[in-house]
Chain A
Amino acid sequence: MITKRIIACLDCHDGRVVKGVQFVDIIDAGDPATQAARHARDGADEIVLLDITATHEGRATLLDTVRRTARELFVPFCVGGGIRTADDAAQVFEAGADKISVNSAALADPMLIDAIGRSFGAQAVVVAIDARRDPEAADPVHDAQVFVQGGRKPAGRRVVEWAREAEQRGAGEILLTSMNSDGMRTGFDCELTAAVSEAVGIPVIASGGAGTVDHFVDVFGRGKADAALAASIFHFGVSSARSLKEELAKAGVSVRLPC
């Protein structure tokens, strides 16, 4: 039986893992290679490394960090941040990533999704969407807006529509981050995740807001997520993927155990 994936996310800045609240107030949380290895050992089903500053500072993805992190990592490894061209993607794959995620650059040039998919396969292209809903909107879920440049700028696209276009262009997965929930530990945006998951036929990874085991149970159930991403819940020894998955199994969620 297919299992729900628990993905450990390492937000990186200058080669260090960092954690912020709603994309600001960033604090140091360790070395990416060490952290990735620890998460894999502790039962994470996948590792995502996002270079959160790459886009707005115009820096290339940290290829050395990717190479070092990938060296002894034998679970799927996705890298995002600052990938603007198919050549950028090729370098990240060459350094050891199994998937790349594109965000701002894909909105600026949607053909980028097609191009990377053609060269490396759809399974290797994750389209990351930073979503913000306006509680005042008539339909906050369907009117939720895509933001770019690390959440600084509206892209002028609706989240659900963009997810559908990304799929049509050959994305293999959608990584949906709720900016309203990110870092708050108050739970995932299950309504928005379900709306995107129902709109596309490819897996959706929910991100933003993980704080308790119940939040994961909720997003896999009501939120119809195929995978969920967590960062702060694992940092500082709050919990491990293994213990999280043991709790999820008790709640009836199918997960990879033993791991």
Chain B
Amino acid sequence: MRVTVIDYKAGNLTSVLKALRHLGAEPEVTDCDLAMVEAAERIVLPGVGHFAATERLDETGLTPAIRAAIARGVPFLGICVGMQWLYAGSSEAPQQPGLGHFPESCTRFIESPEKVPHVGWNSLEVHNGSRLLAGVEPGEYVYFTHSYKGPVTEDTAATTFYIEPFAAAVERGNVMGVQFHPEKSGATGLKILGNFLGVSR
């Protein structure tokens, strides 16, 4: 199965590619080839690091290409900053708009005695009906590393609590995002990536 992985120079793709291959998918990587996005059967937008890096998606013309792919029903998975990009924006880089597929914006964890970034394994409270998180039992753990997060809304597929409740996963139709790193979340993460590979157009 072909999976188009978008490289926008925000961190390291190796782990995501490795996990996809482990599941039998054939990932292809592009950093600016619009034709590959136009022909994509399934898109993964990874990303660790700073929200400002998503500016590259605008510069290369990938943003409208991805928007069109989503409109065609191509299954889309954003990971970490890739999930945050699905929202209208992030206070991490206020001048940089996101895709706006979800109308809310991402914000930093509120000031508290707790440490930020939120690093480590935390549990998921999965909302009913999520296809991405099918088979994930209450309290299964996944690996997070982030300082910004999306709000809990009707599109939230799973909530996690750290300092405050936030969207650990978002899902509407074939547009999905995870704040955690499924490629680094052991058997639970592989199950979630496998679910994404099973989503049909």
Between-chain CB contacts (< 8 Å), 19 pairs: A1-B161, A2-B120, A2-B121, A70-B18, A75-B185, A76-B181, A98-B12, A98-B184, A120-B49, A121-B48, A121-B50, A122-B117, A123-B145, A124-B12, A173-B119, A201-B116, A202-B116, A202-B117, A226-B115
* In the bound complex, CA of A3 to CA of B123 (Å): 9
Verify if A259 is at the interface (C-beta below 8 Å from B): yes
The contact string, 1 if C-beta is below 8 Å from chain B, for chain A 123-135, is 1100000000000
Contacts of B70 in A (CB 8 A): none
Q: Name the one of A2, A71, A120 contacting B48, with C-beta atoms under 8 angstroms.
A: A120
Known contacts A40-B186, A74-B189: does B115 contact A121 (CB below 8 Å)? no
Verify if B200 is at the interface (C-beta below 8 Å from A): no
Sorted nearest first, the 9 A-B pairs with minimum C-beta distance are A121-B49, A123-B145, A256-B121, A256-B141, A93-B12, A121-B48, A203-B119, A2-B122, A3-B121
* In the bound complex, CA of A2 to CA of B183 (Å): 19
Q: Name the one of B11, B121, B184 contacting A5, with C-beta atoms under 8 angstroms.
A: B121
Q: Which residue of A lies closest to B114 (CB)?
A: A2
The tally of residues in B whose CB lies under 8 Å from a CB in A reads: 34
The tally of residues in A whose CB lies under 8 Å from a CB in B reads: 34
A interface residue numbers (CB < 8 A to B) = 1-5, 40, 45, 70-72, 74-77, 93-98, 120-124, 172-173, 201-203, 226-227, 256, 259
Verify if B14 is at the interface (C-beta below 8 Å from A): yes
Q: How far is the CB of A90 from chain B (nearest CB, A)?
A: 9
